C-alpha cells in the first residue's frame, strides 16, 4: 500500500479507526475532498476512504515455470485468451485458485487488466495465485509444449473431444477464449486438443468462468482418483 485517502468532511468512529490502523502499519494517510475521491474511484460509492496501491506485479513466465518444476506436482495452468469483462476475469481467477492452478496466463493486449473490480470478484485469489502477463499467447503455448505440457482448448465445436473422456491427470494447460468469440484462430491452432462440455438442455454454452470451472475441476477429479 502507498497511501490511505480519507474524505476531509467524513469524521466518524469508523473512519478514525481506519486511520489508526493505517498509521500503526506505517501507511501514510492523507485527507482528500470528496470530488477527488469520486474521480479516483470512478463513482461515489467509496464510503469516504480509499487505499492507493502500487500497480499489480505480474510474475514472469520463467519464474512461473521454475516454481512449477520445483513443486514436483503435475502442471495445471489456466490460459485466458482475451477475457475483457472484469467480473468474469475475477471469477476465473477465483476458480483457478480453488482448483490449485500453479498459475494463470493472460495476454498484454486485448484483455482486462487487474482492477479493483477484478480484485473484488476474485475474492482474494490474487493473494495466493501467480498471474503471468505475456506478449503472445500462441508463442507461450509453444513454450509450455516444450516443457511437456499438453494444451487443451475449451471450444463448443461439434467435432471437439468430450471433456470427460480427456486425460487431464498429467501436465495440462487449459485455454479459455473470450466471452463473445471464444478462442482465437491462432490459439486454436496451437492447442493439442479442443474440448467441449456435453450440454443436454436448450442452452448451447456456458459463460467463460463457468466453463473453466467445469474443466478445471474435472482435472482435479482425475488427479484425485489416480
pTM exceeds 0.75: yes
Average pLDDT over residues 19-25: 93
Model confidence band, residue 204 (pLDDT cutoffs 50, 70, 90): low
Alpha-carbon gap, residue 196 to 81, rounded angstroms? 16
Tell me whether strands 76-81 and 3-7 are parallel, antiparallel or unpaired. unpaired
- In terms of Cβ atoms closer than 10 Å to its own Cβ (0-12, 13-18, 19+), residue 162 is exposed
Q: Sign of dihedral through CA atoms 188, 196, 89, 219?
A: negative
Task: Kindly report, residue by residue over 109-138, the tens digit of the pLDDT.
Answer: 989 999 888 999 999 999 999 999 999 999
Among residues 121, 123, 126, the alpha carbon closest in space to that of 106 is found at 126
Least confident window among 7-16, 132-141, 145-154, 162-171: 7-16
CB atoms within 10 A of CB 47: 14
The pLDDT of residue 83 is above 90: yes
What pLDDT was estimated at residue 1? 64
Alpha-carbon gap, residue 14 to 24, rounded angstroms? 16
Amino acid at each position: 500500500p502507498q497511501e490511505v485517502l480519507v474524505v476531509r468532511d467524513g469524521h466518524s468512529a469508523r473512519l478514525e479507526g481506519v486511520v489508526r490502523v493505517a498509521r500503526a502499519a506505517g501507511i501514510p494517510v492523507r485527507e482528500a475532498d470528496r470530488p477527488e475521491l469520486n474521480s479516483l474511484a470512478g463513482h461515489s460509492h467509496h464510503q469516504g476512504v480509499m487505499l492507493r496501491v502500487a500497480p499489480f506485479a505480474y510474475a514472469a513466465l520463467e519464474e512461473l515455470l521454475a516454481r512449477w518444476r520445483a513443486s514436483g506436482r503435475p502442471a495445471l495452468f489456466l490460459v485466458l485468451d482475451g477475457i475483457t469483462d472484469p467480473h468474469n476475469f475475477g471469477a476465473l481467477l477465483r476458480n483457478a485458485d480453488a482448483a490449485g492452478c500453479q498459475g494463470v496466463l493472460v495476454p498484454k493486449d486485448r484483455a482486462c487488466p487487474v482492477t479493483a473490480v477484478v480484485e473484488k470478484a476474485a475474492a482474494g485469489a490474487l493473494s495466493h495465485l501467480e498471474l503471468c502477463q505475456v506478449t503472445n499467447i500462441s508463442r507461450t503455448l509453444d513454450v509450455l509444449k516444450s516443457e511437456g505440457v499438453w494444451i487443451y482448448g475449451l471450444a463448443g465445436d461439434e467435432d471437439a473431444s468430450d471433456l470427460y473422456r480427456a486425460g487431464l491427470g498429467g501436465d495440462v494447460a487449459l485455454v479459455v477464449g473470450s466471452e463473445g468469440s471464444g478462442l482465437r484462430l491462432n490459439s486454436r491452432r496451437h492447442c493439442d486438443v479442443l474440448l467441449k462440455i456435453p450440454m443436454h438442455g436448450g442452452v448451447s454454452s456456458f459463460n467463460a468462468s463457468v466453463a473453466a470451472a467445469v474443466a478445471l475441476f474435472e482435472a482435479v477429479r482425475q488427479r484425485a482418483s489416480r
